[in-house]
Amino acid sequence: MKAVIGLEVHIELKTKSKMFCGCSADYFGQKPNTHTCPVCLGLPGALPVPNKKAIEWCSMLGMALNCDIPLFSKFDRKNYFYPDLAKGYQISQYDEPFCLKGSINLESGKTIGITRVHMEEDTGKLIHQAIDGQDVTLIDFNRSGVPLVEIVTEPDFDNAKDVVDYLKKLQQIARYLDISNADMEKGDMRLEPNISIRKAGEAGLPNYKVEVKNINSFKFVEKSINYEIDRQTKILNEDKTPIQETRGWDENKQKTVTQRVKEEASDYRYFPEPDIPPIRWTKSEIDKLRSTLPELPQEKISRFQKQYNLSLYDTTILTEDLTTSEYFETAATAGARKISPKQIANVMINKKINIDEILPAKLIEEVTISSKKINISEEELLEAVRKILKTNPKIAQDYKKGKDSVVQFAIGQVMYIMKKKIDTEILRKLIIEELK
Partner 1 sequence: MKINIKHIAKLANLHISDEEGKKFEKQLSEILNYVNQLNSVDTKNVEITSQITDLENVTREDKTSPSLSQEEALSNTKSKHNGLFKVKKVL
Least separation in angstroms between residue 146's CB and partner 1 is: 12
User: Shortest distance, CB of residue 72 to Zn ion, whole angstroms?
Assistant: 27
Mark the segment that binds Zn ion (CB under 5 A) among 23-31, 69-77, 216-224, 304-312.
Answer: 23-31
Q: Cβ of 338: how many Cβ atoms within 10 Å?
A: 12
Q: CA 16 to CA 69: how far, in whole Å?
A: 24
CB 206 within 8 A of CB 2: no
- H/E run at residue 327: helix 322-334
Q: How far apart are CA 339 and CA 43, in angstroms?
A: 64
Q: Is 184 in the site for Zn ion (CB under 5 A)?
A: no
What is the smallest separation between the CB atom of 271 and partner 1, expressed in angstroms?
8
Pairing verdict, β 271-272 and 279-280 = unpaired
In whole angstroms, give the CA distance from residue 155 to residue 114: 9
Site for partner 1 in 1-30 (CB under 8 A): 15-17, 21-24
The reply to whether 19 sits near Zn ion by the rule CB under 5 A is: no
Does 77 participate in binding partner 1 (rule CB under 8 A)? no
248 is an interface residue for partner 1 by CB under 8 A: no
Told to check if 21 binds Zn ion by CB under 5 A, we report: yes
Binding range to Zn ion, per CB under 5 A, among 33-41, 49-57, 121-129, 284-292: 33-41
Buried b (16+ CB within 10 A) or exposed e, 282-319: eeeeeeebeeeeeebbeebbeebeeebebeeebbbbbb
d(CA 59, CA 149): 10
Evaluate whether 115 touches 101 at the Cβ level (below 8 Å): yes
Q: Which residues of 369-378 are buried (b: 16+ CB within 10 A; e: fewer)?
A: ebeeeeebee
Residues contacting 418, CB < 8 A, separation 6+: 376, 381, 384
Residue 267 within binding range of partner 1, rule CB under 8 A = yes
* Closer CB to partner 1, 74 or 342, in the complex: 74
36 binds partner 1 (CB under 8 A): yes
Q: Can residue 70 be called a binding residue for partner 1 (CB under 8 A)? A: no
Q: Among residues 62 and 145, whose Cβ is nearest to Zn ion?
A: 145
Say which DSSP state 193 is in. Answer: E
Residue 79 binds partner 1, judged by CB under 8 A: yes
What CA–CA distance (Å, rounded) separates 103 from 65?
6
Task: Examine residue 141 and tell whether it contacts partner 1 (CB under 8 A).
Answer: yes
User: For the CA atoms of 169, 175, 178, 179, what is the dihedral angle to 10 degrees?
Assistant: 70
Q: Indicate the SS3 state at residue 338.
A: coil
Q: Minimum Å distance from CB 45 to Zn ion?
A: 14
Nearer Cβ to Zn ion (35/247): 35
What is the nearest approach in angstroms of Zn ion to the Cβ of residue 37?
Answer: 3
Site string for partner 1, 279-318 (x = CB under 8 A): xx--------------------------------------
Residue 23 or 151: the one with the smaller Cβ distance to Zn ion is: 23
Is residue 139 a contact point for Zn ion (CB under 5 A)?
Answer: no
Whose Cβ is closer to partner 1: residue 183's or residue 285's? 285
Question: Please, which of residues 191-210 interact with partner 1 by CB under 8 A?
Answer: none
347 binds, among partner 1, Zn ion, none (CB under 5 to 8 A by kind): none
How near is the Cβ of 364 to partner 1 at its closest, in Å? 40
Q: Are 315 and 301 in contact (CB under 8 A)?
A: yes
Tell me which residues touch Zn ion (CB under 5 A): 21, 23, 37, 39-40
Tell me which residues touch partner 1 (CB under 8 A): 15-17, 21-24, 31-38, 41, 43, 49-55, 74, 79, 81-83, 88, 126-128, 131, 135-141, 267, 269, 272, 274, 276-280
